[in-house]
Amino acid sequence: MKEVLILYYSHTGAVREMARLVARGVEGVPGCAARVRTVPRVFPAGHALAPAAGSPEPDAGPPPAELKDLEECIGIALGSPTRFGNMAAPMKHFWDSSGELWLKGRLAGKPAAVFTSTATLHGGQETTLVSMMLPLLHHGMIIVGIPNTEPDLTTTASGGTPYGASHHGGGAGGRPITEPERKLCIVLGRRLAEIALKLAG
Ligand SMILES: Cc1cc2nc3c(=O)[nH]c(=O)nc-3n(C[C@H](O)[C@H](O)[C@H](O)COP(=O)(O)O)c2cc1C
């Protein structure tokens, strides 16, 4: 069984829910299993190391990712909430620690996909998705998006983009994941797993 890594950060649970759906898409591909991991929070200097309510601390959710997870899996789906139109700092912090793998080209040629959640519909879903692609491209990874052959991509009135899966969560996360958003998360996971299996031979 080959594994695809679902690596996410989530503070209030929206991206965690998306990660479950992307994992479901991966698991739907025969021969593929999802390895779900999160990244720990980061704290400004002087802040107490206390978990915030709803945050996915390692003991409350999937284990924290290690660099070997990136190496061992045949593909990676990366998820983060939008923070000022960008990926969240904990996710960036994790990738900033991956220089050793980058120098050795360990991830080059593997496929990767991205997903995000925002409070507002036009609050930076696409810029966040692209921001997550940048370290992946530097690592030599092959970006997998969502093609227009997926009907939900053109009819959705909520999230869902060609760049990756997205969710419009509303203020205080008041909007549940819509049916098109749900389906496109699963589609993304499935497509990533299918391509990863082909590339892995
Ligand atoms: C510091 C900070 C910055 C944010 N920046 C944006 C933003 O630029 N655009 C937006 O629509 N939402 C923004 N949000 C809202 C989150 O992206 C949104 O609530 C997301 O659904 C949270 O995902 P989570 O439940 O997985 O943590 C921001 C939230 C925080 C705390």
Q: Give the Cα separation of 100 and 70 in Å (integer).
A: 12
What value does the mean pLDDT of the chain take?
Answer: 93
Tokens of 3: 């594994």
CA of 100 to the centre of ligand 1 (A): 30
Instruction: Find tokens 């996360």 and name the residue.
Output: 173
CA distance 192 to 55: 27
Residue 105's contacts (CB-CB under 8 Å, 6 or more residues apart) are 140
* Mean pLDDT of all residues in 121-130: 97
Ligand 1: nearest atom to the Cα of 15 = 26
Tens of pLDDT, residues 61-97: 899 999 999 999 999 999 999 999 999 999 999 999 9
Ligand 1 binding pocket includes 118 (Cβ within 6 Å):
yes
pLDDT tens-digit map of 29-44 = 999 999 999 998 887 7
What architecture is domain 2-200?
Answer: 3-Layer(aba) Sandwich (3.40)
Strand 75-83, strand 86-87: pairing = antiparallel
Q: What pLDDT is stored for residue 61 in this prediction?
A: 80
Instruction: Sort strands 2-8 and 75-83 into parallel, antiparallel or unpaired.
Output: parallel
In this structure, what token pair is assigned to residue 147?
Answer: 């093609």
Task: Specify the residue with its C-alpha closest to ligand 1, atom 19.
Answer: 119
Q: What is the position in ligand 1's atom list of the atom closest to the CA of 117?
A: 21
pLDDT digits (tens, 9 = 90+) for 132-176: 999 999 999 999 999 999 999 999 999 999 999 999 999 887 899
166 pocket-lining for ligand 1 (C-beta < 6 Å): no
**Predicted TM-score of the model (pTM):** 0.95
Delimit the domains of the chain by residue range. 2-200
Q: What pLDDT sits at residue 58?
A: 46
Cα of 123 from ligand 1 centre, angstroms: 9
Distance CA 136, CA 7 (A): 13
